[in-house]
Each structure stands twice: as C-alpha cells, then as structure tokens.
C-alpha cells in the first residue's frame, strides 16, 4: 500500500490507530484528536510508562497488552519494548513527519511552559530544571534533536513488515488538521 497524504481517502474506518513521530512532534495531541473524531478511547503511553521519579512502571508492558487487546483505541507509537506489538494490532498508522526546526520549536516551547508552570505530568513528575539540558544527554530537547531522523527508518521498516497497514504521512500541523476534518472524518 502506498503512503497516503492528507487528502487521500482511507481504505476503511480505522479502529486502532497509532501516531508516529519524534519526541515533541505532537503525537499525543494528534492521537487525542483522532480518538475524539472516531469516538474511541485514547491511551497515553507516557502515563502508562512513567512512574514516580521518572522510573519505568513495572506494569508498563502488561498495561499496553491489556488496552491493545481491546477492539478500539488510539495511542502513540513509541517505546521499543511495545512498538512491535502495537504495530501488529493497529489498523492505521499516522506519521507526523514534521521538519526538525518545527519539532524543535514545539518541544522547546512545551518544555519551557511545563517547567515554568511546574506542571505535573505523570505520577507527580515535573520537567527537570532547565540547566539539565546541558548535563543530561537524554534531556527531552536533546533527545528530540538527536532522534529526529529515526522516525523515518522505523516507518520504512514497518512498511516492509506490514505492507497491508495504511500509513498516512503528514508534514505539518495544517496537513494534520486537513486530514482530521477530511479523510478521517469521512472514512467508512
């Protein structure tokens, strides 16, 4: 199946949707919007993964298997230990393939806002102090920069493994909005 664009009709109404993209691309926001449009549950993987003190919750993989066994859902396509499982269950992948500059603006802004507001994220966690950008090689902003190119490789590999899986490639937020209100809304 060829990659679909923001104006291409979907082959069917999806029920299990993954949203791929680098950190900061807007996967969670788009997955929430897709879930609302399709009236399916949205499951936030970060909430299942992060325990207190930014530790991995021991129930993460079991929780992912539990929700993904359901017939309908939307979530992000991330976290190596569950990525293949989610891809097997999905009937649509939406790829936010945004330019690096756009992603960096989004992730820097989001990180600053979360930190300055001391916004609680998951299990009481908040963004670390801003100076950790310089000391932590896995700081979310540095992570988004260094892993930006990896999304394409993962999607290409998935296309080989699941040639039947429709994949929608979106290059901008405007394209995502057009797709949500066009092909997704009118699917099946």
Question: Looking only at Cα atoms, what is the longest distance across the chain?
Answer: 50
CA distances (Å), origin 30, targets 100, 115, 157: 18, 22, 22
What's the total number of domains in the chain? Answer: 1
Cα separation, 30 vs 24, in Å, equals 12
Closest CA to 54 of 148, 145, 136, 149: 136
Collapse the DSSP code of 183 into the 3-class scheme (helix H, G, I; strand E, B; otherwise coil) and give the result: helix
Phi, psi of 62 (to 5 degrees): -65, -40
pLDDT for 139 equals 85
**In CATH, what number is assigned to the domain containing residue 119?**
3.40.50.300
| Residue 104 lies inside a defined structural domain of this protein | yes
| Residue 9 lies inside a defined structural domain of this protein | no
* Domain encompassing residue 80: 16-184
| Residue 6 lies inside a defined structural domain of this protein | no
| Residue 35 lies inside a defined structural domain of this protein | yes
> What pTM, to 2 d.p., does this model score?
0.94
pLDDT for 2 equals 78
Q: What is the residue-level pLDDT of the chain in tens, covering all 188 positions?
A: 779 999 999 999 999 999 999 999 999 999 999 999 999 999 999 999 999 999 999 999 999 999 999 999 999 999 999 999 999 999 999 999 999 999 999 999 999 999 999 999 999 999 998 888 888 888 899 999 999 999 999 999 999 999 999 999 999 999 999 999 999 999 97
pLDDT for 89 equals 98
* CA neighbours closer than 13 Å in the CB half-sphere of residue 51: 6
| Residue 101 lies inside a defined structural domain of this protein | yes
pLDDT for 46 equals 96
């Amino acid at each position: 199946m060829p990659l679909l664009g923001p104006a291409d009709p979907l082959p069917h109404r999806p029920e299990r949707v993954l949203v791929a993209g680098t950190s900061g691309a807007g996967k969670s926001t788009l997955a929430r919007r897709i879930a609302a449009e399709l009236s399916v549950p949205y499951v936030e993987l970060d909430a299942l993964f992060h325990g207190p003190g930014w530790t991995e919750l021991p129930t993460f993989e079991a929780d992912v298997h539990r929700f993904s066994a359901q017939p309908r859902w939307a979530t992000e396509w991330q976290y190596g230990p569950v990525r293949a499982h989610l891809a097997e269950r999905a009937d649509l992948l939406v790829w936010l393939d945004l330019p690096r500059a756009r992603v960096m603006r989004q992730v820097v802004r989001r990180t600053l806002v979360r930190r300055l507001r001391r916004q609680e994220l998951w299990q009481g966690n908040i963004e670390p102090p801003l100076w950790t950008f310089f000391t932590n090689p896995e700081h979310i902003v540095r992570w988004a920069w260094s892993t930006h190119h990896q999304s394409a490789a993962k999607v290409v590999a998935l296309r080989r493994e699941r040639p039947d899986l429709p994949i929608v490639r979106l290059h901008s937020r405007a394209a995502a909005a057009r797709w949500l209100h066009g092909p997704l809304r009118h699917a099946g």
